[in-house]
Amino acid sequence: MKRIAAAMGIASLIAGCSPSQSESSTAAGDLTVFAAASLKSTFTELGARFEDDNPGTTVTFNFAGSSDLVAQLSQGAPADVFASADSANMTRAIDAGLVSGAPVAFATNTLTIVTPPGNPARIASFADLARPGTQVVVCAPQVPCGSATEKVEEVTGVTLAPVSEESAVTDVLGKVTSGQADAGLVYVTDAAGAGDKVTTVPFPESVSAVNTYPITALNASADPAAAQKFIELVTGPRGRDVLSAAGFAAP
């Protein structure tokens, strides 16, 4: 964790299936970005802008839980850029020798509670999620939103008994919007994106578990120059505007 923090600090100052061996590089003119599921909306928009700025380049995304993305990359999945929803999974990528250069922190995100519209279970606080009979859905511990949930549990002394643990924050949101759960813990950006499909219940203890999002180019990139240009778009003014509009805070 110290190493990734130091790397981000330096950078800010100066700024699934496993593929076969024959598929270990991306085609010319293509840019493949592996990004945390919570970035789907913003990165899709930024990808379209990147294609407009760079005619002939196609940006392909793989959105999933950060831990799943690192596992895919470690198994040889071809990609140019990796954006994680936390520092821990970026550190895993660094330790696996996947990363080129110093990761750059570009956003932060915090948890909130979402319920079906109208909040039929009358959830008003984080402690309410532990009420007997309450069907709560969370992210699995290895996923950044799951790790953040565990931090909040430690701070509050409240232990949850979730009915399911999902591999991506979008899956948690899906369980709630489909009526399969009384409540779920997702990022504020996911809650905002869901609109009136959910009722949002903020809780003050969420500030104890703020996730920082780092982005980096990958050693296996077939086009390092394009990878760096995409990172500059994400971390630059236009990327900041798109991320801010979606509810992400600055790092």
Q: Which CATH superfamily is domain 2-108+213-245 in?
A: Periplasmic binding protein-like II (3.40.190.10)
Q: What is the mean pLDDT of the chain?
A: 90
Digit-coded pLDDT (tens) for 84-133? 999 999 999 999 999 998 999 999 999 999 999 999 999 999 999 999 99
DSSP letters for the chain: -HHHHHHHHHHHH----PPPGGG-SPPTTEEEEEEEGGGHHHHHHHHHHHHHHSTT-EEEEEEE-HHHHHHHHHTT---SEEE-SSHHHHHHHHHTT-EEEEEEEEEEE-EEEEESTT-TT---STGGGGSTT--EEEE-TTSHHHHHHHHHHHHHT-----SEEESSHHHHHHHHHTTS-SEEEEEHHHHHHHGGGSEEE--GGGGGSPEEEEEEEETT-S-HHHHHHHHHHHHSHHHHHHHHHTTPBP-
Question: Which residues of the chain form CATH 3.40.190.10?
Answer: 2-108+213-245, 111-208
Digit-coded pLDDT (tens) for 47-94? 999 999 999 999 999 999 999 999 999 999 999 999 999 999 999 999
3 has pLDDT over 50? no
Digit-coded pLDDT (tens) for 9-58? 434 433 433 333 333 334 447 999 999 999 999 999 999 999 999 999 99
What is the model's pTM?
0.85
How many CB atoms are located within 10 Å of the residue 124 CB?
Answer: 11
At residue 101, the pLDDT reads 87
pLDDT (mean) for 212-235: 97
Domain 111-208 has CATH 3.40.190.10: yes
226 has pLDDT over 90? yes
